[in-house]
Amino acid sequence: MAIIVKRVTEPVSGDDGYRVLVERLWPRGITKEKAKIALWLKDAGASTKLRQWFAHDPVRWEAFRSKYFEEMAAKPDVIARLREILAENRKVTFVFSAHDEAHNNAVALKEFPGRQAYG
């Protein structure tokens, strides 16, 4: 199984596989038709409080990851859903809307230490 991380504004590709939006908020200016999202898993996104604190500041990245991993560990239903998705699909793309392609919750979700729980 492969997990790809891709910004919602990048062109959709046949190599994307099952596209999962892992954001709490729908991306501004993007239609559902253009996004071609198979599933919007809102609860996989960082909490509003955490997202606002992080503000995509690379200096806060490690602390964000740690706090985000704590949030994810407390969401067994989301982990179970991710496990199902990954078991049913050879390729899954975690879609995000942040401008920073290296520091966002989709990247962190791919790195989630509990990933073994769903991967």
Q: Which two tokens stand for residue 65?
A: 């990851």
Cα gap 104→58, rounded to integer Å: 10
> What's the pTM?
0.91
pLDDT given for residue 23 in this prediction? 96
In the chain, domain spans: 2-115
| Single-letter code of the amino acid located at 43 | D
Under the banding of pLDDT at 50, 70 and 90, the label for residue 104 is: very high
92 pLDDT above the threshold of 90: yes
Task: Spell out a b/e string for 74-106, using b for 16 or more CB atoms within 10 Å of the CB, else e.
Answer: eeeebbebbeebbeebeebbbbbbbeeeebbbb
Under the banding of pLDDT at 50, 70 and 90, the label for residue 116 is: low
What is the percent of the chain with per-residue pLDDT over 90, rounded to a whole number? 88
Q: Which two tokens stand for residue 6?
A: 């891709």
Under the banding of pLDDT at 50, 70 and 90, the label for residue 113 is: low
